[in-house]
Structure 1
Amino acid sequence: MPITLYSSIGDPSSLAVSQALEYLELEHELVNISVNDSDPMPQEITRNNPQMEIPVLDDNGFILVESTAILQYLAEQYGKDDTLYPKDPKARAVVNHRLCFHSSTYYSYISRGAVDQLFPDHPTTPPSPQITHTIIALDNFTTYLKLLGKKYAAGDTVTIADFQLITATMCLESINFDISPWPLVKNWYDTYKLEHPTLWKIVEAGMKELSKVVSQI
């Protein structure tokens, strides 16, 4: 039976997992969950999921939540090699670092930064705390890319860390935030789009959904 992913089209974490499923060429079914619905969440969402979060992976009865844990599981369980999630301790440590950076800082700070775009009443001159957080996130990522000196976030090939970081960066594009002042980040982002058009198509669909929400505010 195919894997089932309970997700939302505009949710960055869901999009990260969807990319992994596509990259690994895994047969899967996407069940869209609207976070705005007043209807109770399906039992498949609430079971083993006290945080009531998406995405939720159901691999033939094996239920897993938290997008990073899902990405790690998929790469280890179904990876044709260890490209997505290297077995070498040092290479894996870099991937794990980027995943931690995404969770603790990059996506968290970008989410705060989006507030200014979504709610124009927030002050932007001088830079508000939200915009400042976004700048810090991009500055930090730039430093990591410079120190590593590779094509992607954790090496010369795409890893599960890129899936998370790409969807976070997509949030900035959805609100027309210009990342060109951070050329290393922009080059990484543009390279991903160019070299992985099928994966980017998944992300782009989510970006359009987020942009639609922004346009209605």
Structure 2
Amino acid sequence: MAGRQAVKAYLDLVSQACRAMLIFLKHNKIPHTVENIAIRKGQHKTPAFTKLNPMQKLPVLEDNGFVLTESDAILKYLATAYNVPDHWYPKLPEKRARVDEYTAWNHTNTHINTSSIFLHEVLLPCMGQPTNPENFEKVLADLDGTLDKLENMFLKNQPFLCGDDISLADLLAVCELIPTCLSSHGLEMDILKDRPKLLSWRNRVQSALSDSFDEAHSVVYQIREKFTAKLSPC
């Protein structure tokens, strides 16, 4: 990495994908600066940011004039371009394919289902829109099916999703599955509370990531504490 400028990360740490990117940068000591873009303030829709990413989404990486969007692509680029341990994104084709298999599945399964829970239990009540019980039951059923596959298809009896070592798959997944909000009833939700195997996996991942995990989650921890004090998410 000698002679390279620090990469610039455009992030909103309320976003799971943004937290995953920051954890990877910090844990692997990749020189970086952070440009905070507050989605709630519409900063991702400004002309300057739209020029950077016409999709108006986060995260975005800027590396010596090279601009890249989409968290999956960003993490794989960083793992390939910088001197990080091979277990993150293995060079061996079979092992790399296992990581690709999960990351391809993550966005339309783990991510969409955990986001739906957040929408129904937090965002809709905050906007004064009551959650439809039938819709919420379907969301819970979809999530349950996704967690079954996460546990039985990917994790199986391994320490981590793709084998014996932590990888980009675990990083993306754990940021989706950490309890970061309160429900509309003022209670903290943990969607893994009845799944000891996945709970043990999550604990292993957090332990492996050490301080970088808590640093990246500091914003959502503060939000959670604020909500707890008020006994309401709104």
Is TM > 0.5 for Structure 1 vs Structure 2? yes
Query: Does 2:46 align with 1:41?
Result: yes
TM (norm. structure 1) is 0.88
Output the amino acid matched with 1:131.
L
Output the amino acid matched with 1:186.
L
Q: CA deviation at 1:42?
A: 5.9
Query: Does 2:189 align with 1:177?
Result: yes
Match of 1:165 in 2: 173
Cα deviation code 1:179-212 (max 9, x no counterpart): 1211121111111222322122134314325535
2:142 to 114, 133, 137: 133
Match of 1:75 in 2: 79
Percent sequence identity over matched residues? Answer: 22
TM (norm. structure 2) is 0.82
CA–CA distance in 2 between the matches of 1:137 and 1:181?
14
CA–CA distance in 1 between the matches of 2:227 and 2:17?
17
CA–CA distance in 1 between the matches of 2:11 and 2:210?
21
Match of 1:144 in 2: 153
Gaps of 5+ in 2: 183-187
Task: Tell me how many residue pairs correspond in the alignment.
Answer: 214
Cα deviation code 1:136-168 (max 9, x no counterpart): 221221112453x22112121111111111110
Q: CA deviation at 1:57?
A: 0.4
RMSD: 2.3
Quick check: 2:19–2:217 contact (8 Å CA) kept in 1?
A: no
Quick check: 1:56–1:64 contact (8 Å CA) kept in 2?
A: yes
Q: Secondary structure at the match of 1:29?
A: strand
Output the amino acid matched with 1:198.
D
1:204 to 217, 220, 225: 217
CA–CA distance in 2 between the matches of 1:80 and 1:124?
46
1:95 to 84, 87, 99: 99
CA–CA distance in 1 between the matches of 2:136 and 2:87?
40
CA–CA distance in 2 between the matches of 1:71 and 1:99?
10
Q: Secondary structure at the match of 1:57?
A: strand
CA–CA distance in 2 between the matches of 1:31 and 1:156?
34
Match of 2:121 in 1: 117
Quick check: 1:12–1:206 contact (8 Å CA) kept in 2?
A: no
CA–CA distance in 2 between the matches of 1:33 and 1:151?
35
Which has the greater radius of gyration?
Answer: 2
Q: CA deviation at 1:126?
A: 9.7
Output the amino acid matched with 2:19.
L
Q: Secondary structure at the match of 1:50?
A: coil
Quick check: 1:112–1:133 contact (8 Å CA) kept in 2?
A: no
1:27 to 31, 38, 54: 31
Match of 2:185 in 1: none
CA–CA distance in 1 between the matches of 2:141 and 2:94?
32
Quick check: 1:2–1:27 contact (8 Å CA) kept in 2?
A: yes
